Amino acid sequence: MLNLRKHLLIASTALICVAPGAFAQSVLDKYSPVTSEMLTTPPKGEWLQWRGDYSNTGFSQLDQINKDTVKNLELAWAWPMADVGIQETVPLIHDGVMFLQTSNGIVEALDAKSGDLLWTYRHVLPQLPESWSYQANQARRQKNSIALAGDKVILTTPDAKLVALDAKTGKVSWEKQVLDWQKGYSYTVGPLIAGDKIISAISGCSIAGTAGGCFIMAHDLNTGEELWRFNTINDPDNPKQGESWGEVPPENRWGGTPWTTGSYDPELGMTYWGVGMPGPYAELIRGSAEGKVLYTNSTLALDVNTGKLKWYYQHLPEDNWDLDSPFERILVDQDVDGAEHKLLISVPGKNGIAFALDRETGKYLWHKDTVFQNVVTKIDDDGTVHINRDLVPTAVGQPVHACTSVSGGKLWQVGSYSPLTQTYYVPLTEACNDVTPTQSEFTAGNAVGSVKFGPRVLPEGQDKAGLFEALSINPTQGDHLWQHRQREAPTSSVLATAGGLVFGGDAARYIKAFDDKTGDVLWQQRLNAPIGGSPVTYEIDGEQYLVVPTGYSNSASTISSAFPEMPLPNGTGNSIFVFKLKKDGQ
């Protein structure tokens, strides 16, 4: 096994080249570099970053597909994904080329107009022992693991590498082993390109071998050389951070994973990342007593040039239930009474509480509950969060009933913000479960959670698992603009557009277009599998296209007992479907 592993590390990449036809080759010939200016001010008809822009808004300025025309959408082409795994992909589109990332380190380039395959890159991964089950699962849950910069596609891999591919050929330009995959480190989310830097965040921080370090890092865009790193569970510059772990030394700390790609404010020179739960999950097992365990379940604002911490805000201290808060941080600028307000808004975690912060200072502005939760009892005027101590287990084997569940509330599915309506659209799931601390041996390649989760159930009196929430945003409060409740759980991110639409999908295999002001469903189409990943939109030759990923979804399977009348498909069905409007006369 050891010799095989060494061989695989040496032969670390593999490329399957597809010989394109004459038309496909002309698409690649016309491909131009993605500049810093393009990333700062994205072209209207393209989708260059996982949420479309540095602010992570998930908003498109395109309006050809709108409230009047959406009923005329028809299928233009479809494509099966290159591998199985959890469907959390985000297609990127530039100069008529779609770059599609698949779990297990696979990237494909497609002609975005015709769906023709241009090239495929397959990363060769080390063979893991069968007992490393959690680490093996990391390779199957890659999200937006690519970014575009210059003439390169930047890929983060499950074996903790950065790889730069030539965008025209798919050939490797350079690669960098960032951290040691044999300890358990891996990448599950893609990088953020900030000028000449690749900002990335590692996963695997709840695996036995990765104690003491979980990192947000910057690397040189041209060489992969490391420029800085920030440790989310051990910050020597902040004594309060160490004290918050109680008697637990850095070498016995786990968690603090930045599970979602951050946002970036070029004007302030700050990048904003969400951080996940501590490990082990119950304070009884991790030994932190009633410490807040910073910087878990927090927003971190880092200086993009140095990696130094500018401010932090903790959304859920003393997490005992794996209700981590690492999800999208969206940057919003609003003029109110002649004054500009720079906000950071988020439903950062599984308890479903929405927050607004001042992104220059980290000052708490307001919060708003969405789904039912019982773990936070109150939030003070200064933003201090108080947990429900009655739900903190005091003995091994003692179950507590926590709402939401480990797979409820706000999950990886990303919300979107429309500057036209000043509204934040969020996919959410109602769910609860029992959480029981356990004593378990920490083994290589496996998580140190040390809890047992009971079946996911709906809160008492609730019969609908799914909620699409529209929150009106301003600097002083968030109000419910509308709510769309349904039996099935949302399973995709959402996309807001200048056409007055919000696209999102669910476990019942429906992609839906909601009216952005009322929540009315104006169009829906049932596809082959639960809707997954992130719907995106782009324009070629004056026609607007809508891309809808589908496939296997943990978000669907974990709560499927709440809607048994809509059974899930037996297969994975990982695919993308591309729609456009019917032409006149058809």
Give the pLDDT confidence of 298-307 residue by residue, as tens digits.
999 999 999 9
122 found inside a domain: no
* Position 3 pLDDT exceeds 80: no
Partner residues linked to 155 by β-bridges:
146, 163
Residue with tokens 């032409």: 583
Task: Classify residue 576: in a domain, yes or no.
Answer: yes
Distance between CA atoms of residues 493 and 499, nearest Å: 18
Q: Classify residue 8: in a domain, yes or no.
A: no
Those residues with Cβ within 8 angstroms of residue 238's Cβ, 6 or more apart along the chain or in another chain: 294, 309
- In eight-state DSSP terms, residue 252 is G
Instruction: Determine, yes or no, domain membership for 480.
Output: yes
Which CATH number does the domain housing residue 279 bear?
2.140.10.10
pLDDT of residue 175: 98
What is the tens place of the pLDDT at every residue in 134-168?
Answer: 999 989 889 999 999 999 999 999 999 999 999 99
Q: What is the 3-state secondary structure (H, E, C) of 106-175?
A: EEEEEECCCCCEEEEEEECCCCCCCCCHHHHHHCCCCCCCEEEEECEEEEECCCCEEEEEECCCCCEEEE
To which residue do tokens 């969400």 refer? 274
pLDDT score recorded for residue 585: 45
Provide the domain count of the chain: 1
- Judge whether 59 lies within some domain: yes
pLDDT digits (tens, 9 = 90+) for 53-105: 999 999 999 999 999 999 999 999 999 999 888 889 999 999 999 999 999 99
Write out the residue range of the structural domain in which residue 500 sits.
29-96+130-581
CA distance 80 to 84: 10
Q: Is residue 336 part of a domain?
A: yes
Question: For the residues 166-173, what does the mean pLDDT come to?
Answer: 98
| Distance (Å, whole) CA 128 – CA 177 | 17
Task: Identify whether the C-beta of residue 291 lies closer than 8 Å to the C-beta of residue 318.
Answer: yes
End-to-end C-alpha distance for the chain, whole angstroms? 60
Q: Residue 4: inside a domain, yes or no?
A: no
The structure's pTM equals 0.95
Domain-located, residue 199? yes
DSSP state of 245: T
Q: For residue 5, count other CB atoms closer than 10 A to its CB.
A: 15
Give one DSSP letter per residue of 168-207, joined into a string: TT--EEEEEE-S-GGGT-B--S--EEETTEEEEE-B-TTB
CA–CA separation, 327 and 317 (whole Å): 16
